[in-house]
Structure 1
């Protein structure tokens, strides 16, 4: 089979996707109408026009505007189910989904409402689509550490449904160090730890995520290349980087996909993975990201297989399940 056929055939795990970032304009309009909520766009076309971002902050502005139409458990179910159907189309067999409770609890939506809707869709996807999933709750880093502590307290009763704690939103000016104490408490409670670092922020933020937050994975991490010592450490520790190529292009982290460093990171022995981040906003789900880097960087079949294998190696599923999927990849 050729490389494009291989991309479609590969089983994949997605480790970096924000459920609020999978909100397609058509569904946003439908839920806004259902809930009688005004949004600042008159048509789906107007929403799509607004998706031309200059940077991370201009994206976040529309991201939060869209999220405000989500009110009821069914809304969160519909949002999550739509994403899981995309996973099924792209042969994503396991996904570890970020959700941002503060985006909703700050609007008066109950934590339980958000979680129950997402979980119900994940359970249905397991039964109907054979897709497994984990949930990772993220703190919004532009808010205070005090607010993060409150959100962690809200999550503790649902510990069995949430596998990890993450850190997202506006990176520049909000270093991982700001949240060192709350992540220490999350680790004590038994959560796995991930954090966005080294997207728009410097390599120093990756060091902080490793040494202060003691992460199990780095989300993004593409600026690690600025620091050769950091690169050696990441390779030696097989510290996963959940890279999001189309997101990096759309948010101007790179100006051209041919400039993207994912192939160089792979060649230097890093455990890099491919992910969609906020796919409805950035123009592509999992296979779209694979196709984009294949076209721009001339990836070999072995490169594509290695990226898929890394996704399972870096996932939070058990070793037996990892081996099952990796064996399938090697057999292609």
Structure 2
């Protein structure tokens, strides 16, 4: 089998702040004269053992302190694009957390302009088409989210959609109905995390109350047979992140991951890296570990890549181009 880093793929579940590698964190801390709780690379790396989602989020938000200027955000984004190109990513739908930066006193313009400025040349510089999604923190209030969304729209931020992330349990989809109504009225695409730590009912409500077009994670959907049938019938995209699920203890081990069951049930699943700097693997590494663990053949791997492309918000022309590249890869792999 050919290297899975050459497999043309789209990445649909990627938090740009989660691509901050330890080396860049320390570099930006020095640049911005920020004192972190850890002085060396070894001390920082030692923090990357998580017991659950919250233990990850604590470090994730702590490390954001090094992002201060537009250049910081741009450097982080370009570093991801460089690594994504090596992983065979040809289209990326990148989420960022504007509220997390505003809470630190970093203006909306700084984070948006820094990230979007780097993405503006992503295709010419890296061969990767990109779109930007503003993700809202579900452990913050809907009023906060509504205010930030209004500001993003007023400044004509180059976002294509909104998402919903951070701590899932105790923050049900019903909390954000108005936010999604406003985003839909503004013509934005709608995605949301659901069914990672939260129950299958959160997936139902994300579809029915929020009108989400795509479910980020969704692995607990397999606990509800009626939900599985609906997801299969409607071919709702599920952006699954295997290495993330293992590192955050959403599943006990990779062997226990429901991915094979999801595929066997006809679900529209694709593979993504989520927060790759924290979870030990970029896009191609997520493909590699599941290919090895579950002995996936070329047909299955091609199906996962095709799902990522067809489930994306790329243009019809771009999708056709990438599916053509995928077909060429298959011919060469045969």
Q: Which residue of 1 aligns with 2:246?
A: 249
Structure 1 residue 297 corresponds to structure 2 residue 294:
yes
The Cα shift of 1:9 comes to 2.1
- Please give the alpha-carbon distance, in whole angstroms, between the structure 2 residues aligned to 1:244 and 1:315: 16
List gaps (5 residues or longer) in structure 2.
Answer: none
Determine helix, strand or coil for the equivalent of 1:68: helix
The Cα shift of 1:81 comes to 0.4
Query: Per-residue CA shift, 1:97-143, capped at 9, x if unaligned?
Result: 00000110111111011011111111232221121100000110001
**Relative to structure 2, which stretch is displaced further, 123-132 or 16-25?**
123-132
List gaps (5 residues or longer) in structure 1.
Answer: none
The Cα shift of 1:162 comes to 0.3
- Please give the alpha-carbon distance, in whole angstroms, between the structure 2 residues aligned to 1:233 and 1:173: 24
- Please give the alpha-carbon distance, in whole angstroms, between the structure 1 residues aligned to 2:4 and 2:65: 35
- Please give the alpha-carbon distance, in whole angstroms, between the structure 1 residues aligned to 2:7 and 2:155: 33
The Cα shift of 1:158 comes to 4.4
Q: Which residue of 2 aligns with 1:263?
A: 260
Structure 1 residue 181 corresponds to structure 2 residue 201:
no
Q: For 1:41, which of 38, 42, 45 is the aligned residue?
A: 38
Contact 1:206 1:224 (C-alpha < 8 Å) held by counterparts: yes
Normalising to structure 1: TM-score of the pair? 0.97
**Relative to structure 2, which stretch is displaced further, 10-19 or 116-125?**
116-125
- Please give the alpha-carbon distance, in whole angstroms, between the structure 2 residues aligned to 1:33 and 1:101: 23
- Please give the alpha-carbon distance, in whole angstroms, between the structure 1 residues aligned to 2:261 and 2:155: 40
**Relative to structure 2, which stretch is displaced further, 191-200 or 263-272?**
263-272
Q: Which residue of 2 aligns with 1:219?
A: 216
- Please give the alpha-carbon distance, in whole angstroms, between the structure 2 residues aligned to 1:330 and 1:127: 23
The Cα shift of 1:217 comes to 0.3
Structure 1 residue 273 corresponds to structure 2 residue 270:
yes
The Cα shift of 1:324 comes to 1.8
Runs of 4+ residues over 2 Å off in structure 1:
157-160
Normalising to structure 2: TM-score of the pair? 0.97
How many residues are matched?
329
- Please give the alpha-carbon distance, in whole angstroms, between the structure 1 residues aligned to 2:156 and 2:246: 35
Residues 99-138 of structure 1 mapped to structure 2, 5 A cutoff: 99-138=96-135
Q: For 2:144, which of 133, 137, 147 is the aligned residue?
A: 147
